[in-house]
């Protein structure tokens, strides 16, 4: 939702706006990652159980604190969402968009008399809305401006906007080839994201017996993600979303192939390479929302965005099963190889996507 509001408020810089909104994920994790480690393992104890290819803690002081962490996360998340809710506002252009959509629906052929009456009512509402724009105040419901100069600026802003105003309903989206290309690409790229963010610490513990250092790695990841998402936002605005997504997938293939070897050299190379991988991957949650907006419009953006990333639901159901099997039977090298392989498929699908306007 935050990416929708950002993209609508800044339609001529949709990439930068979306990246700033998406970078908040990294900013929140930056605090929580340190807080959780200091809460659960304040004495920097090392894991003492080696089970398969993973290391775990058996210390009662550490294990007993884990359930309380979820209560802490829930409280912080609830507080942040309540604060954000009171700051959210609709863009004035939302009112124009709704009214124009109603007027557009009225021009469709109607069969029965009741439908024709509905269209007439919508036309009257459109006229009422236009008349309301001539007054000195603003609409509290939609935040629509009634200042003629501002209304003219909004109209001009829409003409220069990088967002497509050819809106697709969710049912229409499901009938397009572009949707399936985006959905599969999102699933493959999110697979790499989930493995990298969930296993970087567990993998690192095999070679680096320092829980605090790996916590620093997690903190640096959040700082890197916060910065690089804004960089990817600039890339979207100054190039186009297709080029940006192709760059992400191509670089991610190369970076993930060599990630496995870095902790064997030293911890600092592992830190640097992990930040490189995460910095590249961070662009996914910037570029894909923008592509959804540009290809399918903004009237049904939230629903269409949910459809595109709905493939992630399937991924969350099946990924833990085969990831654990790959680690147990083949090891981390082949797990990281699957990341490169799926990203290669994502690159091929990305190159077949239609270009979006700059």
| Mean pLDDT within 65-73 | 81
Which region among 17-31, 53-67, 92-106, 164-178 has the lowest average model confidence (pLDDT)?
92-106
The listed range with the strongest mean pLDDT (106-110, 231-235, 251-255) is 251-255
Which structure tokens are listed for 253? 């293939």
**CA distances (Å), 64 to each of 39, 50, 210, 215, 298, in order?**
11, 20, 21, 20, 47
pLDDT for residue 39 is more than 70: yes
Q: Which residue has the higher pLDDT, 90 or 291?
A: 291
CB atoms within 10 A of CB 328: 11
Q: Name the residue with higher pLDDT: 132 or 109.
A: 109
Residue 144 has pLDDT above 60, yes or no: no
Domain boundaries defined on the chain: 2-89+169-351, 94-144
The arithmetic mean of pLDDT across residues 317-344, rounded, is: 88
Identify whether the C-beta of residue 25 lies closer than 8 Å to the C-beta of residue 232: no
Q: Is the pLDDT of residue 121 over 60?
A: no
Strands 54-56 and 49-51: antiparallel
Average pLDDT over residues 162-178: 77
Question: Which residues make beta-bridge pairs with 54?
Answer: 51
What pLDDT shows up at residue 356?
65
Whole-number pLDDT of residue 141:
32
Over residues 263-268, mean pLDDT: 90
Least confident residue range of 8-17, 32-41, 92-101, 252-261:
92-101
Query: pLDDT per residue over 269-318, tens digit each?
Result: 999 999 999 889 888 888 888 888 888 887 787 788 888 888 777 887 88
- Give yes or no for a contact between 290 and 7, defined as CB atoms under 8 angstroms apart: yes
Q: Which CATH superfamily is domain 2-89+169-351 in?
A: MFS general substrate transporter like domains (1.20.1250.20)
Question: How many Å separate Cα 130 from the centre of its chain?
Answer: 36
State the sign of the Cα–Cα–Cα–Cα dihedral 109, 115, 120, 121.
negative
Average pLDDT over residues 174-178: 90
Over residues 233-244, the mean pLDDT reads 84
Q: Please tell me which residue, 150 or 343, carries the higher pLDDT value.
A: 343
DSSP 174-186: TT-HHHHHHHHHH
Please report the pLDDT score of residue 271 as a whole number: 92
Q: Is the pLDDT of residue 162 over 60?
A: no
- pLDDT at position 100 over 80: no
By the 10 Å C-beta count (0-12 exposed, 13-18 middle, 19+ buried), 42 is classed as: exposed
Could you tell me the pTM of the whole model? 0.62
Report the candidate in 214, 195, 263, 209 with the shortest Cα–Cα distance to residue 50: 209
Region 197-205: mean pLDDT is: 85
Provide the token pair at 302: 């939230």
pLDDT-derived band at 341 (thresholds 50, 70, 90) equals very high
Q: How open is the CA angle 116-98-115, to the nearest 5 degrees?
A: 10
Q: Is the pLDDT of residue 244 over 80?
A: yes
The average confidence (pLDDT) of the chain is 74
Helices (H), 44-176: 60-63, 66-85, 93-106, 113-132, 148-160, 170-173
Question: Above 50 in pLDDT, residue 115?
Answer: no
- Distance (Å, whole) CA 268 – CA 84: 37
Q: In a 3-state reduction of DSSP, which class is residue 55?
A: strand
Specify the pLDDT at position 143.
Answer: 36
pLDDT of res. 273 = 93
- pLDDT, position 19: 65
Do residues 166 and 301 lie in contact, with contact meaning Cβ atoms separated by under 8 Å?
no
Q: What is the mean pLDDT of residues 102-122?
A: 49
Which one is predicted more confidently, 120 or 343? 343
């Amino acid at each position: 939702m935050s990416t929708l509001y950002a993209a609508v408020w800044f339609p001529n810089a949709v990439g930068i706006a979306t990246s700033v909104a998406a970078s908040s994920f990294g900013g929140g994790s930056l605090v929580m990652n340190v807080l959780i480690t200091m809460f659960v393992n304040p004495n920097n104890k090392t894991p003492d159980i080696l089970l398969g290819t993973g290391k775990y803690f058996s210390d009662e002081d550490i294990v007993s604190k884990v359930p309380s962490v979820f209560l802490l996360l829930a409280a912080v998340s609830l507080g942040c969402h309540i604060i954000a809710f009171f700051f959210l506002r609709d863009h004035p252009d939302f009112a124009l968009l709704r009214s124009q959509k109603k007027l557009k629906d009225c021009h469709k052929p109607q069969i029965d008399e009741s439908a024709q009456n509905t269209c007439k009512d919508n036309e009257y509402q459109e006229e009422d809305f236009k008349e309301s724009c001539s007054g000195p105040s603003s609409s509290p419901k939609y935040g629509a401006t009634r200042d003629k100069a501002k209304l003219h600026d909004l109209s001009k802003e829409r003409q220069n906007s990088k967002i497509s105003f050819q809106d697709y309903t969710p049912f229409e989206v499901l009938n397009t080839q572009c949707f399936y290309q985006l959905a599969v690409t999102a699933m493959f790229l999110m697979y790499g994201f989930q493995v990298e963010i969930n296993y970087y610490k567990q993998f690192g513990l095999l070679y680096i017996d320092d829980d605090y250092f790996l916590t620093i790695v997690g903190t640096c990841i959040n700082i890197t993600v916060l910065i690089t998402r804004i960089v990817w936002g600039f890339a979207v605005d100054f190039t186009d979303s297709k080029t940006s997504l192709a760059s992400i997938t191509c670089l991610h293939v190369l970076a993930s192939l060599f990630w496995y070897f870095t902790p064997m050299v030293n911890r600092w190379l592992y830190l640097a390479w992990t930040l490189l991988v995460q910095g590249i991957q961070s662009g996914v949650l910037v570029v894909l929302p923008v592509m959804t907006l540009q290809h399918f419009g903004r009237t049904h953006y939230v629903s269409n965005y949910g459809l595109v990333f709905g493939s992630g639901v399937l991924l969350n159901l099946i990924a833990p099963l085969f990831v654990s099997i790959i680690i147990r039977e083949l090891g981390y090298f082949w797990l990281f190889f699957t990341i490169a392989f799926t990203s290669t498929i994502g690159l091929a699908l990305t190159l077949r996507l239609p270009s979006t306007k700059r």
